[in-house]
Structure 1
Amino acid sequence: MSTKIFIWVGHPRETSLSLGLADAYQRGAESQGAEIRRMNIHDMDFDPDLTHGYAQRKEHEPCLVEFIENIKWADHMAWFHPLWWGGMPAKMQGAIDRAFLPGIAFAYHDNDPWWDKLLEGRTADVVVNADTPGFFLKFMYGNAHKHRITKQILGFTGVKVTNYNYFAPAKTASEAKIKGWMEKVYKVGAEAGRR
């Protein structure tokens, strides 16, 4: 049975390094017979504002309905995005705010501080590109984004991150360096496709 992989590209521009890395990953996964569904944030039209928090639900736009369906369908996810101001682009964060709701991604217990992880059993690869060199991100900022996305977002909902790849500095990377990143991501995709 083939692995079901949902690829999500969180760069809001129609052309980007994130998009190219996702293409390489998809080729790798497909080379192993994986079944792919993919969404690009630049194609998603929705209000990213969780206006009332969890107190009042907004109706999900069609793209968010599809996004949630793809997450529930997948055995494995692959998220691609740039690092902007220490985090993911606002529109990507908005999609998470709107879609990862109680009853969908997690469920708080009524009488204790714990919760159920409703996406448990799934795995994910996260691929981030940035201009901040990796050593600087680690020693100056403590890899805050890595902890946030792997533990506080995906981990909180039960998704186990199997690979976290950080490629930087992107703005000064040579063609040879970018080619190496693409080759690495292709291999990560192929590995995911073999699961």
Structure 2
Amino acid sequence: MKSKIVVINGHPDSQSFCTALSEAYAEGASASVNRVETRTIDLSKLDFELNLKYGYRQRTELEKDLIEAQKLISWADHLVFVYPTWWGAMPAILKGFVDRVFLPGFAFKYRENSSLWDKLLKGKSAHLIVTMDTPSWYNRWIYRRAGHNVMKRNILQFCGITPVRVTEIGPVKPSSPELRAKWLNKVKALGSKLA
């Protein structure tokens, strides 16, 4: 049976280092000796309204790109999110994507007359590949990995996706071309190992 992987590039700039990391992961997974199918979702190329304008009070119709994204997420066994940390969390485009795609009835469902919910994306795993300019130790001990925890616990695990691994890449801003090449090779190897 083939593994089915969807790599989601959550950076709004198609020329970003996150794009290169996304491509490296997909390349590593596709080149694996294991049976694997890889698809990608590049948020910089999607056309959708970022805001869930009415919350859950009124339905906001999904654009064609988001309907296709839901199909790919349903199809996948494993989701890989590649994105930068800005102001301690994911960029607005990725938060908007989550708000619009991980909807009740698709990702979770509240139980009637209960504070409990059903996790509709069970059976999937995820890997977060997160670039940062903050040193890893500072993110861990001072910020308590707040952005990672939101994505891992409050979003993905809330919907039943587990386990969720996190790989930090950085600090990116002062990095040399040689260090970036090492990071690309590391992410490519992660893709080939998982696949």
- Shift of the alpha carbon at 1:141? 0.6
Specify the code of the residue in structure 1 equivalent to 2:109. A
Matched residue, 1:94:
96
String of CA shifts for 1:32-89, please: whole Å, max 9, x gaps.
2421111111101111111111111111000000111110000111110011111111
**Given the superposition, is the C-alpha separation of residues 165 and 37 from structure 1 closer, same or farther in structure 2, using an over 3 Å criterion?**
same
Q: Does 1:17 align with 2:40?
A: no
User: Is the Cα contact below 8 Å between 1:11 and 1:19 reproduced in 2?
Assistant: yes
**How far apart are the structure 1 equivalents of 2:113 and 2:186?**
46
TM-score, normalised to structure 2, is 0.96
Pairing of 1:73-152 with structure 2 (within 5 A): 73-152=75-154
Q: Does 1:36 align with 2:43?
A: no
Number of residue pairs the alignment of both structures matches: 193
User: Is the Cα contact below 8 Å between 1:10 and 1:40 reproduced in 2?
Assistant: yes
User: Is the Cα contact below 8 Å between 1:150 and 1:161 reproduced in 2?
Assistant: no
- Shift of the alpha carbon at 1:163? 2.3
Q: Structure 2: which 5+ residue stretches go unaligned?
A: none
Q: Runs in 1 of length 4+ with deviation above 3 angstroms?
A: none
User: Is the Cα contact below 8 Å between 1:12 and 1:91 reproduced in 2?
Assistant: yes
Specify the code of the residue in structure 2 equivalent to 1:71. I
Cα root mean square deviation, aligned: 1.0
Q: 2:48 aligns with which of 46, 49, 65?
A: 46
**How far apart are the structure 2 equivalents of 1:161 and 1:9?**
20
Identity between Structure 1 and Structure 2 (%): 37
User: Is the Cα contact below 8 Å between 1:109 and 1:115 reproduced in 2?
Assistant: yes
**How far apart are the structure 2 equivalents of 1:138 and 1:163?**
15
**How far apart are the structure 2 equivalents of 1:79 and 1:118?**
19
**How far apart are the structure 2 equivalents of 1:161 and 1:15?**
30
Q: 2:156 aligns with which of 154, 157, 162?
A: 154
Matched residue, 1:170:
172
- Shift of the alpha carbon at 1:145? 1.0
Matched residue, 2:67:
65
Specify the code of the residue in structure 2 equivalent to 1:156. F
String of CA shifts for 1:104-143, please: whole Å, max 9, x gaps.
0000011221100000000111100011111111111101
SS of residue in 2 equivalent to 1:141: coil
TM-score, normalised to structure 1, is 0.96
SS of residue in 1 equivalent to 2:69: helix
**How far apart are the structure 2 equivalents of 1:88 and 1:175?**
24
**How far apart are the structure 2 equivalents of 1:18 and 1:71?**
20
SS of residue in 2 equivalent to 1:160: coil
Q: Structure 1: which 5+ residue stretches go unaligned?
A: none
